[in-house]
Amino acid sequence: MTVTRFAPSPTGYIHVGNLRTALMNYLIARKSGGQFILRLDDTDRERSKQEYADGIMRDLEWLGLTWDRVERQSDRLGRYMEAAEDLKRVGRFYEAFESPTELDLKRKKLLNMGKPPVYDRASLKLTDDDKARMRAEGRAGYWRFLLDQSRIEWTDGILGPISIDAASVSDPVLIRADGQVLYTFASSVDDIDMGVTHIVRGADHVTNTATQIQIIQAMGGTPPAFAHHSLLTGAQGEELSKRLGTLSLRDLRAAGIEPLALLSLMARLGSSKPVELAGSLDELAEGFDIGSFGSAPTKFNPDDLKPLTRAHLQRLPLAAVTGQLDALGVPADLQPGFWTVASQNIEILADLDRWWTLCRDGAEPVVAPEDAGFVRDALALLPARPWDTGTWAAWTNAVKDATGRKGKGLFMPLRRALTGMDHGPEMAQLMPLLQVVRAA
């Protein structure tokens, strides 16, 4: 069975960059009838917060990205210690004692010599007496994974063949001196235990993938199939990372962006397929192809979500918005006509309030001085209620006959007087909905 996972750290709210990862893993699982795991990587006890975990779940539920089960790394700390002991027994885990300052000096020395800043494995030479002395001095040991310094190769689902020389990579720290299990190790253990078969994540994780492949193999596991998607940039190619906080899913939701608009864009952005508004998540899953994505940085423009949101709203049937219309107080008998008019004239669903306010309370008339007499005379000719879709034509014909006005000179002053706007819905459709017409 195909098993994928989305593994956010609950140290903040998720943004469009995180969504790209979540969605790709979700679609792979759903297309194949597999499982999608939400795994909260919450081993950072200081920064991980329940409010962020709850926020992540709300965002995914809003989008319809339902998970088959939730896992928390904080519940598995004992399992990580077991795995660490196994790696110690096979000689792939070793204790190191350098301070951050000492490590920084080593890196700078190597860089000044024109060499890559790779850890020198000095701690492998420490005797038991050396380690005891360091502990007596107040130093706390941390644990590194001993890489097999050969080439690590895999065929990436997006990037193609990848080959990394493990000798060019420092032995990764997997457990900190304070006992915190780090992402690289915890994720490797989890991916084995949870049977994860496919992992899609950002291109900034390629080196992590190389080391995780060896860690998984050292624990007797089979590495999943990896794919690394490109990173997002701004619309002009500028770095987006500093703006991602303003592109959180909760902020996009508050701005009125519709879930399927966001999902439709993110499921195709950076691929060879055109962005098209999908009718459902199932439709997105059926057409999803990880191999269609490229490796070049992908430009993301939040403004692209607006026309997709508008198009999605225009497709919605009345039944999908009855709850919103009821909440606004739109009478049941007016809801079909109101939705027909409003759906074609809103950017986001919250705009419904503005249109119902116009229909219920009338608009502040906009009347040019030279049109004041004309509008006054025209309003006197308004037919008696009830109004229907033929009222606008009957009224304007009567006004035309009485005043001799025609064309734009006839219609525009009357539109402005009734709606306060130069543009908007077809007046024939709007007239039956107008509960109040204010005197000009």
Mean pLDDT of 36-62: 95
CA–chain centroid gap for 206, Å, is 21
How far apart (Å, rounded) are the C-alpha atoms in residues 2 and 161?
Answer: 22
pLDDT digits (tens, 9 = 90+) for 51-71: 999 999 999 999 999 999 999
pLDDT digits (tens, 9 = 90+) for 382-414: 999 999 999 999 999 999 999 999 999 999 999
How does DSSP assign 339-387, residue by residue? HHHHTTS-SSGGGHHHHHHHHHH-------GGGHHHHHHHHHTPPPSPP
Q: 267 with 284: CB under 8 angstroms?
A: yes
- Say what the pTM is: 0.91
**Of 18, 45, 7, 27, whose CA–CA distance to 188 is shortest?**
7
Residues 6+ apart with CB under 8 A from 39: 5, 6, 7, 70, 71, 72, 73, 190, 194
pLDDT at 244 over 70: no
The backbone region for 205, taken as left when phi is positive above 0, alpha when psi lies in -120 to 50, beta otherwise, is alpha
pLDDT for position 236 = 82
pLDDT digits (tens, 9 = 90+) for 285-319: 999 999 999 999 999 999 999 999 999 999 999 99
**Of 115, 117, 204, 186, whose CA–CA distance to 145 is shortest?**
186
pLDDT for position 233 = 87
Torsion of CA 170, 81, 35, 284, to 10 degrees: -30
Mean pLDDT of 125-143: 94
pLDDT at 243 over 70: no
CA–chain centroid gap for 85, Å, is 38
How does DSSP assign 244-293, residue by residue? GGGGBHHHHHHTT--HHHHHHHHHHTTBSSPP---S-HHHHHHT--GGGB
pLDDT for position 127 = 94
pLDDT for position 237 = 80
* Structural domains for the chain: 1-67+230-315 (3.40.50.620), 68-229 (3.40.50.620), 317-433 (no CATH)
**Of 53, 41, 58, 50, whose CA–CA distance to 7 is shortest?**
41
Q: Are strands 160-165 and 151-156 parallel, antiparallel or unpaired?
A: antiparallel
Query: Residue 271: what are its φ and ψ, rounded to 5°?
Result: -105, 175
pLDDT digits (tens, 9 = 90+) for 172-186: 999 999 999 999 999
